């Protein structure tokens, strides 16, 4: 996973709530068995509308998505995270996230930032007023900064550390392989196996 | 202080706990399907890691499979299914491929085999894994990175979610189903209402549900934002499990039941949140919008956006759905009826549909897709397929089908469905398709009249 410390970039304001993962990447794109090429599927149905915000050339090259509440609800598809990252996003800011999406993001190094709904709105308005606005997302300080504004956000220490170091969870867990083996010896004898 | 059911099951599975870190949780059963696993197996291969416990892992082909007999025509879908076959062979994972008697939608086959049991932790790269919580375990959907993590370690690092009780008092009136109940719950708490929680469904109406009805309720927990939903095990649970291929037997059965009986929320346990629902006031419930929280009783009208919690979203939804505020929901005409999915693709659902369709004719395209090959077999043994065919409905092979349209079963742009599945998202059943979520009973009656209808409306 790519480490995340601090990121500065421009943003896209997505003024929609309940952006479910079926919208982020429709099911037809999930048939690929590789991990690449998902940027084409990002919001593919919505992007057919020329007026959709992502099609506005003023937002080209933006790397921070600022969405309405309940972003990433629904399907567990991690392809949604891959699509956002491969399109060029490093951060998604919203007032609420779907739990699975949020989890998937932190496994991949896409930073989900929760800010209060009124702050998200203010940020969206600021970007709409000036699409060239530079926004800094500082994971170390747990802050989002733009045009003289500072908004703090919460993230647990462990996830923050893992993101800042770019650490792979599996490697961390395997350090505790002994504890897993001990646990396995004590499992209830009637628990099923698939064989 | 007492503990909730969720806390008991969680604590039983903590492998390692350290200050400032998520718990490391042991996973008792890992379910796999073709869509969310290929990149996980690739990851294992790249790191040279084996599957730690292949015997706690089971795979099936469901999302891409066609429901008409024959091979997969779409080469990309076919590659995905073939990739699963290769991966399962290479890593030693039991697979139920297309055509196999054990094949079916991943959340239907686990319980059917008796692999889903009380008190277990169950995960799958699929958000409807919450279904399995109906047996009193903790079951939740994960992403592909976590699938790889479970394959490699049989554990997951996770913070324990908060606990929510949904207390459903009274009995469901006649003609009101588990699906209506969960749709009403989601409309009440919203699609984000359960975020960060494990929900325990409780109360008289829940206790009276069959196992299949309980699975329908837990299945849609994720539609309220909750990763997991659960129901304490009881005699209904034990009766369902007894004698299933992977259920404990003999002395193991007795020991298991004794333990399972301890899996209830203690009297003095405290939930972080409690939501109360009066079952006696419920009626058949349908969705009008593009998320599962945008629902209303069938007897109501399409709401005006300003009367909803999120007017901007409602306005967008009505535009997408081609609906006008104030239109009675019973006047909404549909083109297609879909019966199936991990929400309502089980035998009881098919029986309910047959009861409505017996001696009647459908006027819409009507697809009836059993959730598994076993469900198909059982339905045919009861002659339900004859009822469906005589009514003019299509009786298909098992799979996810039009629940998400990864196979050829899709809606055309602008086409409207009444669907027993779980998601009415834009384009979920095919690009531009418009979905109304309904119970199997309402689906069947709707197929007969061509408009959203409850069986009680039929003469
Ligand atoms: S039936 Fe639908 S919801 Fe269930 S696993 Fe298949 S696609 Fe997912």
Residue A192 phi/psi, 5-degree rounding, is -75, 155
Q: How far apart are CA B91 and CA B73, in angstroms?
A: 27
The residues near A45 (Cβ < 8 Å, ≥ 6 apart) are A23, A26, B426, B427, B431
Q: How far apart are CA B49 and CA B41, in angstroms?
A: 9
For the stretch A161-181, pLDDT in tens is 999 999 989 999 999 999 999
Nearest-5° Cα angle at B132, B128 to B138:
100
Nearest atom, ligand 1, residue B106 CA: 5
Q: What is the pLDDT of residue A108?
A: 95
> What is the whole-number distance in angstroms between the Cα of residue A97 and the centre of ligand 1?
21
CA distance B72 to chain A (A): 13
Pairing mode, strands B29-33 and B121-124? parallel
Q: What is the pLDDT of residue B445?
A: 98
User: How far is C-alpha A27 from the chain's CA centre?
Assistant: 19
Are the Cβ atoms of A170 and B256 closer than 8 angstroms?
Answer: no
Q: What is the pLDDT of residue B457?
A: 97
Nearest atom, ligand 1, residue B371 CA: 1
For the stretch B251-280, pLDDT in tens is 999 999 999 999 999 999 999 999 999 999
Q: Is residue A101 part of a domain?
A: yes
CB-nearest partner of A96 from B28, B52, B192: B192
Q: Hey, whose CA ends up nearest to atom 2 of ligand 1?
A: B403
Nearest atom, ligand 1, residue B403 CA: 2
Give the mean pLDDT of A30-53.
96
User: Do residues B11 and B21 touch, judged by C-beta distance below 8 A?
Assistant: no
Long-range contacts formed by B82-85: CB under 8 A, 24+ apart: B83/A33, B83/B34, B83/B38, B83/B41, B84/B32, B84/B33, B84/B34, B84/B37, B84/B38, B84/B59
Ligand-binding site membership of B400 (annotated): yes
Q: Helix, strand, coil % (nearest 5) of chain A? A: 40, 20, 40
Q: Is residue A86 part of a domain?
A: yes
Q: Is residue A194 part of a domain?
A: no
> What is the whole-number distance in angstroms between the Cα of residue B343 and the centre of ligand 1?
8
Strand order in the sheet with B365-368: B394-395, B365-368, B336-339, B416-419, B434-437
Q: Which of B57, B145, B411 to mutate to test the interface with A (most CBs of A within 10 A)?
A: B145
Are the Cβ atoms of A169 and B115 closer than 8 angstroms?
Answer: no
> What is the whole-number distance in angstroms between the Cα of residue B140 and the centre of ligand 1?
14
Are the Cβ atoms of A76 and B143 closer than 8 angstroms?
Answer: yes
Give the mean pLDDT of B140-162.
98
Q: What is the pLDDT of residue B87?
A: 98
Give the mean pLDDT of B186-190.
97
Q: Hey, whose CA ends up nearest to atom 1 of ligand 1?
A: B341
For the stretch B16-51, pLDDT in tens is 999 999 999 999 999 999 999 999 999 999 999 999
Q: How far apart are CA B276 and CA B139, in angstroms?
A: 23
Q: How far apart are CA B344 and CA B357, in angstroms?
A: 16
- Residue linked to tokens 């001696």: B359
Are the Cβ atoms of A188 and B259 closer than 8 angstroms?
Answer: yes
Q: What is the pLDDT of residue A1?
A: 82
Q: What is the pLDDT of residue B310?
A: 94
Mutate to test the pocket of ligand 1, among B127, B397, B399, B421 (most ligand atoms within 8 A of CB): B421
Q: Is residue A195 part of a domain?
A: no
Locate A66 and state its tokens.
Answer: 């600022």
Among candidate residues B447, B425, B174, the one with its CA nearest the CA of residue B284: B174
Q: Is residue A33 part of a domain?
A: yes
DSSP B301: B
Locate B8 and state its tokens.
Answer: 């008991």
Q: What is the pLDDT of residue B383?
A: 98
> What is the whole-number distance in angstroms between the Cα of residue B104 and the centre of ligand 1?
10
Among candidate residues B417, B403, B169, the one with its CA nearest the CA of residue B286: B417
For the stretch A85-102, pLDDT in tens is 999 999 999 999 999 999
Specify the CATH number for the domain of residue A12.
Answer: 3.20.19.10
Q: Say whether residue A194 is in contact with chain B using an 8 A CB cutoff.
A: yes
Q: Is residue A97 part of a domain?
A: yes
CA distance A193 to chain B (A): 5
Half-sphere exposure of A192 (CA within 13 A, CB side): 26
DSSP B36: T
Ligand-binding site membership of B218 (annotated): no
| Number of domain units in chain A | 1
In this prediction the ipTM stands at 0.96
Q: How far is CA B457 from CA A163, B441, B451, in A?
A: 57, 11, 11
Locate B25 and state its tokens.
Answer: 């949780």
Closest residue in A to B64 (Cα–Cα): A31
Give the mean pLDDT of B373-377.
98
> What is the whole-number distance in angstroms between the Cα of residue B407 and the centre of ligand 1?
12
Give the mean pLDDT of A3-31.
97
Give the mean pLDDT of B376-392.
98
Give the mean pLDDT of B220-230.
97
Give yes or no for residue A2 having a pLDDT over 90: no
Q: What is the pLDDT of residue B459?
A: 80
The residues near B107 (Cβ < 8 Å, ≥ 6 apart) are B31, B124, B126, B128, B129, B131, B132, B215, B219, B342
CA distance B79 to chain A (A): 8
Stretch 30-89 of chain A: residues touching chain B, C-beta under 8 Å: 30-35, 45, 69-70, 73-79, 81
The whole domain housing A157 covers 6-186
Are the Cβ atoms of A18 and B313 closer than 8 angstroms?
Answer: yes
Q: How far apart are CA A52 and CA A45, in angstroms?
A: 10
Q: Answer whether 0.95 is exceeded by the pTM.
A: yes
Q: What is the pLDDT of residue B158?
A: 97
DSSP A98: -
For the stretch B400-422, pLDDT in tens is 999 998 999 999 999 999 999 99
Residues A68, B271, B276, B215, CA torsion sign: positive
Q: All domains of chain B, ordered by start, with CATH?
A: 5-273 (3.30.499.10), 287-457 (3.30.499.10)
Q: What is the pLDDT of residue B1?
A: 86
Chain B residues lying within 8 Å of A108, measured CB to CB: 145
Residue B274: CB atoms within 10 Å: 12
Q: What is the pLDDT of residue A158?
A: 96
The residues near A175 (Cβ < 8 Å, ≥ 6 apart) are none
Q: What is the pLDDT of residue B293?
A: 97
Q: What is the pLDDT of residue A184?
A: 98
Closest residue in A to B42 (Cα–Cα): A34
Q: How far apart are CA B317 and CA B294, in angstroms?
A: 9
Q: Is residue A152 part of a domain?
A: yes
Chain A residues lying within 8 Å of B49, measured CB to CB: 170
User: How far is C-alpha B392 from the chain's CA centre?
Assistant: 27
Give the mean pLDDT of B341-359.
98
> What is the whole-number distance in angstroms between the Cα of residue B398 and the centre of ligand 1?
12
The residues near B243 (Cβ < 8 Å, ≥ 6 apart) are none
For the stretch B66-75, pLDDT in tens is 999 999 999 9
Q: What is the pLDDT of residue B249?
A: 97
The model's confidence at residue B304, banded by pLDDT at 50, 70 and 90, is very high
Residue B14 phi/psi, 5-degree rounding, is -80, 115
Q: How far apart are CA A172 and CA B260, in angstroms?
A: 33
Give the mean pLDDT of B389-408.
96
Nearest atom, ligand 1, residue B343 CA: 4
The model's confidence at residue A145, banded by pLDDT at 50, 70 and 90, is very high
User: Do residues B27 and B123 touch, judged by C-beta distance below 8 A?
Assistant: yes
Give the mean pLDDT of B199-217.
98
Nearest atom, ligand 1, residue B107 CA: 5
For the stretch A66-78, pLDDT in tens is 999 999 999 999 9
Q: Is residue A191 part of a domain?
A: no
The three-state secondary structure class of B149 is helix
């Amino acid at each position: 996973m790519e480490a995340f410390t601090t990121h500065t970039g421009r943003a896209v304001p997505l003024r929609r709530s309940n952006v479910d993962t079926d919208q982020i990447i429709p099911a037809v794109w999930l048939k690929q068995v590789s991990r690449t090429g998902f940027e084409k599927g990002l919001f593919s149905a919505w992007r057919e509308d020329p007026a959709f915000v992502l099609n506005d050339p003023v937002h080209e090259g933006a790397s921070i998505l600022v969405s309405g509440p309940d972003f990433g609800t629904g399907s567990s598809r991690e392809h949604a995270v891959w699509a956002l990252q491969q399109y060029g996003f490093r951060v998604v800011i919203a007032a609420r996230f779907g739990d699975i999406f949020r989890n998937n993001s932190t496994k991949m190094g896409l930073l989900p930032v929760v800010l209060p709904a009124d702050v998200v709105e203010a940020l969206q308005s600021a970007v709409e007023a000036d699409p060239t606005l530079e926004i800094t997302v500082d994971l170390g300080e747990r802050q989002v900064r733009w045009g003289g504004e500072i908004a703090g956000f919460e993230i647990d220490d462990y996830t923050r550390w893992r993101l800042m170091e770019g650490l792979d969870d599996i490697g961390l867990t395997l350090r505790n392989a002994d504890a897993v083996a001990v646990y396995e010896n004590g499992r209830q004898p009637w628990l099923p196996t698939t064989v | 202080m007492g503990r909730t059911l969720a806390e008991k099951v969680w604590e039983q599975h903590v492998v390692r706990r350290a200050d400032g870190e998520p718990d490391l949780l042991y996973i008792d059963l890992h379910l796999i399907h073709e869509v969310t696993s290929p990149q996980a197996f690739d990851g294992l291969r790249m790191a040279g890691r084996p599957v730690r416990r292949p015997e706690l892992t089971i795979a099936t082909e469901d999302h891409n499979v066609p429901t008409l007999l024959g091979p997969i025509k779409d080469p990309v879908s076919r590659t995905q299914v073939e990739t699963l076959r290769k991966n399962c062979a290479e890593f030693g994972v039991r697979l139920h491929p297309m055509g196999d008697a054990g094949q079916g939608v991943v959340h239907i086959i686990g319980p059917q085999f008796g692999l889903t049991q009380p008190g277990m932790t169950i995960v799958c790269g699929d958000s409807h894994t919450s279904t399995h919580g109906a047996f009193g375990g903790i079951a939740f959907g994960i992403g592909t990175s976590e699938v790889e993590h479970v394959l490699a370690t049989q554990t997951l690092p996770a913070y324990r979610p908060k606990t929510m009780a949904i207390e459903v008092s009274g009995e469901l009136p006649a003609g009101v189903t588990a699906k209506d109940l969960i749709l009403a719950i989601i409309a009440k708490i919203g699609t984000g209402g359960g975020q960060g929680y494990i929900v325990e469904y409780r109360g008289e109406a829940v206790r009276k549900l069959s196992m299949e009805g309980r699975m329908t309720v837990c299945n849609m927990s994720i539609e309220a934002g909750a990763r997991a939903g659960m129901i304490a095990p009881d005699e209904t649970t034990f009766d369902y499990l007894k004698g299933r291929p992977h259920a404990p037997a003999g002395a193991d059965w007795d020991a298991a039941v004794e333990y399972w009986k301890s899996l209830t929320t203690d009297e003095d346990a405290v939930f972080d949140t409690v939501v109360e629902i009066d079952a006696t006031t419920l009626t058949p419930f349908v969705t009008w919008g593009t998320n599962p929280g945008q629902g209303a009783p069938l007897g109501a009208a399409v709401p005006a956006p300003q009367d909803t919690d999120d007017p901007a979203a409602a306005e967008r939804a009505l535009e997408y759905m081609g609906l006008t505020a104030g239109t009675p929901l019973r006047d909404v005409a549909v083109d297609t009826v879909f019966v199936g999915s991990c929400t309502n693709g089980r035998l009881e659902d098919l029986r309910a549909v047959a009861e409505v369709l017996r001696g009647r004719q459908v006027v819409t395209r009507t697809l009836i897709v059993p959730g598994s090959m076993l469900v198909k077999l059982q339905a045919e043994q009861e002659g339900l397929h004859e009822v469906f065919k005589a009514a003019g409905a299509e009786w298909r092979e098992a799979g996810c089908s039009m629940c998400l349209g990864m196979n050829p079963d899709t809606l055309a742009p602008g086409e409207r469905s009444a669907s027993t599945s779980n998601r009415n998202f834009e384009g979920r059943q095919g690009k531009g398709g418009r979905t109304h979520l309904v119970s199997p009973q309402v689906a069947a009656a709707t197929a007969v009249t061509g408009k959203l209808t409850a069986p009680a409306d039929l003469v």
